[in-house]
A and B are shown apart, each in its own frame.
Chain A
Amino acid sequence: MTSRTPPAETPSSGGISIRSVCHEYRPARGRPVLALDNIDLEINDREFVAILGPSGCGKSTLLYLLGGFMPLQQGGISVGGRDITGPGPDRGIVFQNFALFPWKTVRQNILYGLEKQRLPKDERERTTRHFIDMVHLTGFEDSYPSQLSGGMKQRVAIARTLAINPDTLLMDEPFGALDAQTRSLMQEELLAIWNRSPTTVVFVTHDVREAVLLADRVVVMTARPGRVKKIIDTRFEGGMNAEIAKSRPFLDRVDEIWDLVREEAIVAGSAGAG
């Protein structure tokens, strides 16, 4: 069933090192906005890290910097020991607003990255098939994004990124547009993929339970300008499974992190109001 590289030894991405990174947006009009203030974060090779924080605290900005889409203003970021110099297929990203190509069908959207990887044609087709099935979009291969619901678009975006099998996965609220049912299925699917072939994952989310469920560590950010407020270990004895997700320690951890996130959301809320 799986056509991905066998799990024997997936290529190591060697972790991510974020050192004293600041980022200020300087719009042509209006005041500059300090989005990130001195972020330090070490992410281990094949670690799953979730990032939580109030809206507007710079989570997307951090992912964009990791993706190499914007020049670094201050500090350093290296992935696998090498400073990043720009975007590349070694770091796959799922954007918050999907960023699908509206003129391409579901199939063509997923094929695009595979074509760029210069994969042989039959392998491209096979991989595309596999990922369309995986995100339950069978039958919608030839639909355009404008014909899909938000949740379906999001699943195409996830499939397209997973299909190129990047060493590092950057995901910006990838399940945000999904209904609870699909969301839970996709969480399981992502965990299964990750368990089969662990890659380094930076996963931005609003959902505390999702963060604790998926991640090895959860990073809580402060309200803007975003700083690292606290890093919480969320690994559980015996790995994640449905039983543990109902256990006392799990729920306590969720509560603990909820309180941290709530504090910052209140700060962000009052700053927004003022």
Chain B
Amino acid sequence: MRLVHTLWRFTPLLLLAVVWEAVSRLGLVSEFALPPFSDVVTAFSRLADEGLWEHTAQSLYRGATGFACAVIVGVLAGVLMAWYRPVHILVNPLLRCLYPMPKSALIPLTIMWIGLGDNSKITLIFIGCLLPVVLSAFNAARGVDQVLIWSARSMGAREREVLWEVVVPAAMPEILSGIRISLALAFILLVSGELIIANNGIGYLIDILGEGGDYAGMFAGVVTISTIGFFADQGYVALTRRILAWRE
């Protein structure tokens, strides 16, 4: 039953692959713009032996580190901002400056400051992913029902306990949706950072394959990272559902 359900969910993707193959083979679009799906699959299996996984692993390391730091720092900062006025006064102006800034504009800057290695990508992802997390944590923590806090206090909870035992769990649904936005952003920033300048990573691989005219290979890289992004999001949604099982 479940299997059937899962298969159904992937039907549109299968259909997409079929249509893709067809339009390319029938010459409806140029092979350069869209190499046939089967060519991409072939390129994929070739690249799999030629460092695709190493590049991917490198990228995922960067993405995961930047994203994880953003989640931890973001939740802490957002909740503390909502709870302690001085933190709000200190952090809020920074957020206001950072908010409208296109994060990809930071790519050259992080490279200039930190260099070509992992840390510049991690920093970029960290900064970019931070905002949605901080903002959702801040808004959620500020919006927690006053009476829940009172009720904990009247049962003898101290201020710090109220923060971690009441405010954070009450804010969790909203925090988790902020984190989901960051998860998608992490992939965007990761690939664009590597596309612009890097020594390795999946973005870098896509870039050099494209420049070398290996369009099927390039597509294989794009499909790989997109697929990983898709499953990361699905996994995240499943995790969220587990954490928020109390909602229904």
Report whether B246 and A146 are in contact in the complex, using a CB–CB cutoff of 8 Å: yes
**Given A88-B156, A89-B154, A89-B156, do A95 and B246 touch, yes or no (CB 8 Å)?**
no
B153 at the interface (CB under 8 A from A): yes
- Tell me the residues in window 110-157 of chain A with beta carbons closer than 8 Å to chain B beta carbons: 112-113, 116-117, 144-147
Report whether B169 and A93 are in contact in the complex, using a CB–CB cutoff of 8 Å: no
B5 at the interface (CB under 8 A from A): no
Report whether A101 and B156 are in contact in the complex, using a CB–CB cutoff of 8 Å: no
- Kindly list chain A residues whose C-beta atoms are within 8 Å of the C-beta of B156: 88-89, 113, 116-117, 164
Report whether B155 and A95 are in contact in the complex, using a CB–CB cutoff of 8 Å: no
- Kindly list chain B residues whose C-beta atoms are within 8 Å of the C-beta of A91: 154
**Given A95-B147, A144-B246, A146-B247, do A101 and B153 touch, yes or no (CB 8 Å)?**
no
- Kindly list chain B residues whose C-beta atoms are within 8 Å of the C-beta of A116: 155-157, 161
Say which residue of B147, B245, B246, B248 sits within 8 Å of A99 (CB atoms): B147
Say which residue of A69, A97, A105, A147 sits within 8 Å of B153 (CB atoms): A69
CB 8 Å contact bits of B160-197 with A (1 = contact, 0 = none):
01000110011010000000000000000000000000
- Kindly list chain A residues whose C-beta atoms are within 8 Å of the C-beta of B170: 101-103
Chain A min CB distance to B42 (Å): 50
Chain B min CB distance to A152 (Å): 15
- Kindly list chain A residues whose C-beta atoms are within 8 Å of the C-beta of B246: 102-105, 144-146
Report whether B166 and A99 are in contact in the complex, using a CB–CB cutoff of 8 Å: no
B23 at the interface (CB under 8 A from A): no
Nearest residue, chain B, Cβ from A70 = B150
Report whether A103 and B150 are in contact in the complex, using a CB–CB cutoff of 8 Å: no
Chain B min CB distance to A97 (Å): 6
**Given A99-B145, A103-B246, A146-B246, do A112 and B150 touch, yes or no (CB 8 Å)?**
no
Say which residue of B148, B153, B155, B165 sits within 8 Å of A86 (CB atoms): B153
Chain B min CB distance to A33 (Å): 16
Bin the interface of chain B by size. Answer: 20 to 34
Nearest residue, chain A, Cβ from B146 = A69
Complex: A69 Cα to B148 Cα, angstroms: 11
Report whether A87 and B172 are in contact in the complex, using a CB–CB cutoff of 8 Å: no
Chain B min CB distance to A158 (Å): 13
- Kindly list chain B residues whose C-beta atoms are within 8 Å of the C-beta of A103: 169-170, 172, 246
Chain A min CB distance to B245 (Å): 8
Complex: A112 Cα to B156 Cα, angstroms: 9
A64 at the interface (CB under 8 A from B): yes
Say which residue of B148, B153, B165, B166 sits within 8 Å of A87 (CB atoms): B153
A92 at the interface (CB under 8 A from B): yes
- Kindly list chain A residues whose C-beta atoms are within 8 Å of the C-beta of B248: 146-147
Report whether B148 and A67 are in contact in the complex, using a CB–CB cutoff of 8 Å: no
Report whether A67 and B150 are in contact in the complex, using a CB–CB cutoff of 8 Å: yes
Chain A min CB distance to B86 (Å): 20
Chain B min CB distance to A145 (Å): 8
Complex: A154 Cα to B170 Cα, angstroms: 19
B151 at the interface (CB under 8 A from A): yes
Nearest residue, chain A, Cβ from B151 = A99
Report whether A112 and B152 are in contact in the complex, using a CB–CB cutoff of 8 Å: yes
Chain A min CB distance to B147 (Å): 4
Complex: A101 Cα to B166 Cα, angstroms: 8
Report whether A97 and B155 are in contact in the complex, using a CB–CB cutoff of 8 Å: no
CB 8 Å contact bits of A227-252 with B (1 = contact, 0 = none):
00000000000000000000000000
Say which residue of A87, A102, A104 sits within 8 Å of B154 (CB atoms): A87
CB 8 Å contact bits of B50-72 with A (1 = contact, 0 = none):
00000000000000000000000
Complex: A144 Cα to B169 Cα, angstroms: 14
Report whether B154 and A101 are in contact in the complex, using a CB–CB cutoff of 8 Å: no
**Given A102-B246, A103-B246, A146-B248, do A113 and B147 touch, yes or no (CB 8 Å)?**
no
Chain A min CB distance to B175 (Å): 12
Report whether B155 and A67 are in contact in the complex, using a CB–CB cutoff of 8 Å: no
- Kindly list chain A residues whose C-beta atoms are within 8 Å of the C-beta of B169: 101, 103
- Kindly list chain B residues whose C-beta atoms are within 8 Å of the C-beta of A88: 154, 156
Nearest residue, chain B, Cβ from A114 = B155
- Kindly list chain A residues whose C-beta atoms are within 8 Å of the C-beta of B145: 99
The 3 closest A-B pairs by CB, nearest first: A113-B155, A116-B156, A87-B153
Other A-B pairs, 8, CB within 8 Å; known A67-B150, A112-B152, A164-B155: A89-B155, A93-B150, A101-B148, A103-B172, A103-B246, A144-B246, A146-B248, A164-B156
Q: Can you give 11 contacting A-B residue pairs, CB < 8 Å?
A: A67-B154, A93-B150, A99-B151, A102-B170, A112-B155, A113-B155, A116-B155, A144-B245, A144-B246, A144-B247, A145-B246
Question: Chain B interface (Cβ within 8 Å of chain A)?
Answer: 145, 147-148, 150-157, 161, 165-166, 169-170, 172, 245-248
